[in-house]
Structure 1
Amino acid sequence: MSDHDQSPLPQRIAPPPGSAMARPDFLWGVATASYQIEGAIDADGRLPSIWDTFSAIPGKTLGGDTGEQACEHHARWADDADLIAHLGVDAYRLSIAWPRVMHADGTPNQEGLDFYRRLLTRLGAHGIQRYVTLYHWDLPQHLEDRGGWLNRDTAYRFAEYAALVARELGGLVEGWMTLNEPWCSAFLGYGNGHHAPGLADPRYATQAMHHLLLGHGLGLQAIREHDPGTPAGIVANVGRGTSDSADPADQEAARLYELQHNDWVLQPLLAGSYPADLWDTLWPGSAPLVLPGDMDLIRQPMDFLGINYYFRSNLRSDGAHGFTDVPLADVERTQMGWEVYPQGLEDLLRRFKAVYPNLPPVYITENGMASDDRVEGGRIDDTQRQSYLKRHFAAVSRAIDAGVDVRGYFVWSLMDNFEWAFGYERRFGLVHVDYTTQVRTLKDSARAFQAFLQQRRATATPAALTT
């Protein structure tokens, strides 16, 4: 560690003393996604995905990087499972690659399913709880060729996929998550084209979102039919929006930002409706086609809600009917250029509890930061990441004290990986990956996290550990 941080190793990352997050029933984990770590895009009879197609287009990803190799997790899964156990976490959040486990005709690809069976079984043997996301953005390309999430039929194909995976892997999973960040899939994939499949039209984004959420509802039914009793939910990314201007138009811009970034997903899930201001103000004429019964499917009660949080945005009015992001000067930022603003996570959790009385138990399913980490003398001093996590842990602890039912926290990410359009330059991992040798090296943040978890276990009473 740097000389300016001489505190005991566990305290460099730990939540505040006496925090509910230090209790043995609070779930601590790390997270990854299939396309970002697996590589082996032609193994197991895996089909092409939209990210294979998108990242192969020149200029779509930084440096022309693709997920073809990634972290070679497909080959190194056993060692990676042991690495997760070595960290001492309670749980691991991973995703299934839809193109790896299902043939184009809808039949199971047993070779691909066996890969996940082996991984989940080894994790279970280590006593690690397994939280599985069904869709973390790698849509089979053959479905995109038929319209992707613009085609209502994709929601039904997703339900068939959910049923297949729940049937085949049920009993090896402690929690199911239908979708990861539908906002990103809809807006970045279909609204501004920054992510696969690279389309850019607000009308596409709103229709894609509706079909994604419809797929969630149908998938939830499929999970409960084929793996009854296992908790299931969804993962939403959320962002804090504020304005440094007191002008009412700028304050309204901040409100519209949070409406679009947060309530576009949460309101249909928890209240059964879309925010009208999206179609009336922000994107006139872009309301999706909603058929009778759709919203009842979407608003089915969930066992939990996953929340991913990373940063705050400073908003101003665009002078028309929307908002524009005006970055603040002299604030701490990560390698992504995102402002470090832990208070935003507390603010959002408290607001969601106030606005949505039926808010289910919450897990922080992603939180972390990218930095330009380098191995020097056999170690990686990532002081900023440790400080970042410690402050966000404290923000969640305050939200729990305020009555928000937060039950777990998954740090993003287990290891450096393919960061979508940013390729391999941006490093989010607790564990450093040398992409030439594939050597994994624990960063100082991983060592501090590990030490905190060891201390937590050591101070827990035997009775508490068995409840």
Structure 2
Amino acid sequence: MGSWWWGTGASAVQVEGAHPADDWHGWKDAPDSGDGNGFARRYREDFTLLRDLGATDHRLSLNWARVEPVEGQIDQDAVAYYRAVLAAAREVGLRVWVCLLHSAIPVWFADKGGFAGDRAVGTWLRWVDLAAELFGDLAGGWMPMNLPTTYAQKAYLTGSFPPGHRDPAQFAAVLATMHTADFEAALRLRDTGRPTCCNEAVLPLYPADDSPETAAVLARLDAMVWDSWLRLARDPRYADAFDLIGISYYYAMTVHSNGALAPFPADGEPGPLGYVPWPDGLAAVLERLHRELPDARVVVAEIGYGDAGEQDDTARCEYLRRAFELIAAAQDNGMRVEGVSIWTGIDNYEWLAGRSVSFGLFDVDRRPRRSAELIRSLARG
């Protein structure tokens, strides 16, 4: 595949457990996160495991609430912990992409309205500057926000994540705010001398019929998924904010005239999270991205397969093999794809699904699945 790096991704809440100062802790619809998968105790072991798998890169998030549990008050123990984590990754040879927002936010920020608040961007950028000061010397790269569209949708449209709102107008405003905040953060983080990468949740949308009503609904959803951030990527102010355009792909959806969504393809078997794991949709995503941003350096920043924890994960292996074939084909067609990050290296806490859905190449006891050997063989050539 030419110039290439292999990565894995994880988030603080999912591997460390929620922190008492963040808004996921005690969220009414979520099972208890406990200590995630024990990463806070086992991170040195975990980094060695990933390196020996062939990984060159790893993305993790810093829990803002852990570092700043009260506005303006820094927890020095949390700073020391995260610095130890980043140093341990560097010591084993992993480049770490530091993410500053992966769903959970401090309660004090949530109480001020979070990203729906009047001063959301300024408050967020203060955290960005603080993180750059505290951890910039150990970061290999920066991913300011993880899937801002997904966060806005779950928190302000479907209400499944805190604060649990279902307000289309508020969702639209928060979506615009978060994308602006993401690009503004990237501009600042470039000053650390480390590369920057976004992570945008993208998917192909297919009409259920050829009616004008369905076409109009699909156009609105498409604008949410694509145009909400592409317009900033094309804006001269932000053209150089991100060194790499990262995308996250898991599935495609069918759009009906009433706005309802259904799994695509219709004859596929939905997985435990309700969507059909369809690797071929990645081809449509990559083709569109290549049309939209033909000169971009691209990373498949998140791709994975969730099941009920099967140790003999034949379906995951087949899904990943097909995805890698499609990525290689995109490269052959002139697309500058430079890496891929698997979600995830080690089973963790899967938000509302708790521990019932597994994405790991390793289970929570650090036992390898067949997919781990697949990645090991591909990473070694």
Matches within 5 A, 1:33-112: 33-39=11-17, 41=19, 48-54=21-27, 57=28, 60-61=29-30, 65-112=31-78
1:142 is displaced (CA, Å) by 0.6
Selected match of 1:209 from 150, 175, 183? 175
Match of 1:419 in 2: 350
Higher RCO (C-alpha under 8 Å, 6+ residues apart): 1
Does structure 1 retain, via aligned residues, the 8 Å contact 2:186–2:241?
A: no
SS of the aligned residue for 1:442 comes to coil
| Max Rg structure | 1
Residue aligned with 1:196, SS: coil
SS in 1 for 2:100: strand
| Counterparts of 2:271 and 2:143, CA distance in 1 | 28
| Cα separation, 2, equivalents of 1:218 and 1:159 | 8
| 1:256-267 correspondence to structure 2 within 5 Å | 256-267=220-231
Q: Does 1:168 align with 2:151?
A: no
Q: Structure 1 CA distance, aligned partners of 2:147 and 2:182?
A: 11
User: Match for residue 407 of structure 1?
Assistant: 338
* Inter-CA distance 449–217: structure 2 relative to 1 (3 Å threshold): closer
3-state DSSP of counterpart to 1:261: helix
1:300 Cα shift? 5.4
Letter in 1 for 2:185: G
Query: 1:324 maps to which residue?
Result: 260
Q: In the alignment, is residue 118 of structure 1 matched against residue 58 of structure 2?
A: no
- Return the alpha-carbon distance in structure 2 between the equivalents of residues 90 and 258 of structure 1: 34
Partner of 1:16 in structure 2?
Answer: none
Q: Once superposed, what is the RMSD of the aligned Cα atoms?
A: 2.0
Letter in 2 for 1:442: P
Distance across 2 between alignment mates of 1:97 and 1:112: 9
- CA-to-aligned-CA distance 1:333-369 (integer Å, 9 cap, x gap): 3322212322321212221221335x53111111011
Which of 317, 320, 339 aligns to 1:389? It is 320
Shift of 1:192: 1.6
Query: Residue 407 of structure 1: CA displacement?
Result: 0.6
Q: Give 3-state SS (helix, strand or coil) of 1:365's partner.
A: strand
Q: CA deviation at 1:36?
A: 0.6
User: What amino acid is aligned across from residue 316 of structure 1 in structure 2?
Assistant: H
Distance 1:84 1:200, change over 3 A: same
Task: Pick from 306, 311, 319 the counterpart of residue 251 of structure 2.
Answer: 311
Q: Please, which of 302, 305, 311 is the counterpart of residue 369 of structure 1?
A: 305
3-state DSSP class of the match of 2:367? strand
Partner SS, residue 24 of structure 2: helix
Q: Who is 1:270 aligned against?
A: 233
C-alpha contact 1:242 1:251 (8 A) present in aligned 2: no
Deviations 1:367-426 (A, max 9, x none): 01111124xxxxx10000000011111111122222221110000011211111222111
* Count of paired positions: 380
Q: Which consecutive residues of structure 1, in runs of 5 or more, have no partner in the other structure?
A: 1-19, 43-47, 273-295, 375-379, 434-438, 457-467
- Percent of residue pairs bearing the same amino acid type: 27
Q: 1:220 to 1:330 in 2, by over 3 A?
A: closer
**Does the residue aligned with 1:349 lie in a helix, a strand or coil?**
helix
Q: 1:123 to 1:413 in 2, by over 3 A?
A: same
Instruction: State the shift of 1:40 in Å.
Output: 7.0
**Match of 2:371, as an amino acid?**
S
Change (3 A) 1:203 1:246: closer
Alignment correspondent of 1:218: 184
Quote the residue 1:301 is aligned against.
241
CA contact (8 A) 1:214 1:297 kept: no
Tell me which amino acid in the other structure corresponds to 1:448: L
Q: Take 2:137 and 2:8, find their aligned partners in 1: how far apart are those partners?
A: 21
**8 Å CA contact 2:18, 2:25 repeated in 1:** no
Instruction: Spell out, residue by residue over 1:284-341, the C-alpha distance to the aligned partner (whole angstroms, 9 max, x if none).
Output: xxxxxxxxxxxx76665321111000001112212xxxx3223454214332221232
Partner of 1:451: 377
Q: Give the TM-score of the pair, scaled to structure 2.
A: 0.93
Q: Output the CA distance in 1 between the equivalents of 2:94 and 2:175.
A: 33
Q: Which amino acid aligns with 2:172?
A: T
- In the other structure, the counterpart of 2:93 is 127
Say whether the 8 Å CA contact 1:182–1:265 is kept in structure 2. Answer: no
Question: Counterpart of 1:339?
Answer: 276
Residues 1:453 and 1:298: Cα distance change in structure 2 (over 3 Å): closer
Residues 27 and 407 of structure 1 are in contact (CA less than 8 Å); yes or no, is this contact kept in structure 2?
yes
Which deviations, in whole Å up to 9, do the C-alpha atoms of 1:13-61 show, x marking residues without a partner?
xxxxxxx2xx3x301111101111112735xxxxx1111142xx2xx13
CA distance in 1: counterparts of 2:329 and 2:209, whole angstroms: 27
Instruction: Give 2:4's match in structure 1, choosing from 26, 31, 38.
Output: 26
* Aligned pairs for 1:224-243 within 5 A: 224-225=190-191, 227=192, 229-243=193-207
Q: Structure 1 residues 105 and 142 mapped into 2: Cα distance closer, same or farther (>3 Å)?
A: closer
Q: 3-state DSSP class of the match of 2:272?
A: coil
Q: CA deviation at 1:103?
A: 4.5
Residue 155 (str. 1) matches residue 121 (str. 2): yes
Supply the distance in 2 between the matched residues of 1:407 and 1:365 (Cα, whole angstroms): 10
> Structure 1 residues 213, 247: CA separation in 2 closer, same or farther (over 3 Å shift)?
closer
Q: Distance in 2 between matches of 1:421 and 1:197?
A: 14
CA deviation string 1:111-136 (max 9, x = no partner): 11211211111211111111111111
Unaligned 5+ runs, structure 2: none
Q: Tell me whether 1:353 sits opposite 2:290 in the alignment.
A: yes
Give the secondary structure class of the aligned counterpart of 1:431.
Answer: coil
Aligned-partner residue type, residue 104 of structure 1: V
Partner of 2:368: 442
In 2: Cα distance, 1:422 partner to 1:298 partner:
36
More displaced stretch, 416-425 vs 96-105: 96-105
TM-score by length of 1: 0.77
- Counterpart CA distance in 1 for 2:56 and 2:101 is 22
Q: How far apart are the structure 1 equivalents of 2:126 and 2:172?
A: 23
